[in-house]
Amino acid sequence: MFDSGVGGLTVLHECLVSLPHEDFLYLGDSAHFPYGTKSAEELRGLVVANTEFLLDRGAKLLIVACNSATSAGADAARETAAEHGVEVVTVIGPEAEIAAAISGTGKVGVLATPATVDGGAYRRALEEQGRGLEVIEVSAPDLAPIIQNGFPFDQSVVDTVRFYCEPLRAAEVDTLILGCTHYPLIAPMLQRILGRDVRLVTAGHAIAAKAQRILEARGLESTAEGEGDYGFLCTGDVASFRELGTRFLQMPLGDVERV
């Protein structure tokens, strides 16, 4: 599994809960954070590099736990992994399926990074659901960096989140896709601002369920009875990754290898 930093640990958390017997290796490309403001060409290069690195480490299934990377480079990841006979799970499709299924009014919001919004992946994925949904996308260029670097959250963070929520409230969305794996950390704030009737859709649970289906279908599920191992790699500062990562994962990280 890889992400631009620690945000994908919100996905890993759900996978550890849903697939406790499996071993996981997480790569946080923190040296290149944030992904959300990079060009599509640059993102594709990073996606291929991360994919090849994890395949060389023996991955039997690859999870792209980053929305910006998925939007720009999902096809590149799949093409690279296919050469090794490995399937790829990405974050956007499963969220779109859930949002389309639970929206009562058909008004679905997407809060995401500029790279994700500009790539149009969520809009396409929601259109493919065949419900004629009204999609309201909000680009939040500084929200992921604020979340990654903003502990503890202060009033300025609340004001920024409220600003991004204004067009979503004006459009009266009843479902909001959190289109960045950092955003679950501010889910309580979003829920308070948008109101309790707006349903928030995150990637973690959907990704874990899809990963489990693929592993079972291909006969790759772990036969171990105890808890599996999980390890961490990062391309940036190890101490910072460990400190922030503990908050995102809600579990101890232990040793982190810099690569």
Range of the domain at 109: 92-201
Residue 182 contacts residue 148 (beta carbons within 8 Å): yes
Average pLDDT over residues 24-44: 94
Q: Which residue among 159, 186, 201 closes a domain?
A: 201
Q: Looking at the predicted structure, is the pLDDT value of residue 157 above 90?
A: no
Q: Is the same domain home to 106 and 177?
A: yes
- 192 and 219 part of one domain: no
Confidence bin at 148 (pLDDT 50/70/90): confident
* 113 shares its domain with 84: no
Predicted structure pTM score: 0.87
d(CA 35, CA 3): 9
Q: Which of 15, 165, 180, 234 is catalytic?
A: 180
Is the same domain home to 97 and 133? Answer: yes
In this structure, the answer to whether residues 191 and 107 fall within a common structural domain is yes
Q: Is 66 an annotated catalytic residue?
A: yes
pLDDT recorded at residue 156: 85
- Residue 177: closest CA among 101, 88, 73: 101
What pLDDT, in 10s, does the model give residues 182-231? Answer: 899 899 999 999 999 999 999 898 899 999 999 999 999 999 889 999 99
Q: Which of 53, 30, 50 lies closest to 237 in space, CA to CA?
A: 30
Structure confidence by residue, pLDDT tens digits, 189-202? 999 999 999 999 99
How far is Cα 245 from Cα 6, in angstroms, rounded to an integer? 5
pLDDT in tens, 51-93: 999 999 999 999 999 999 998 999 999 999 999 999 999 999 9
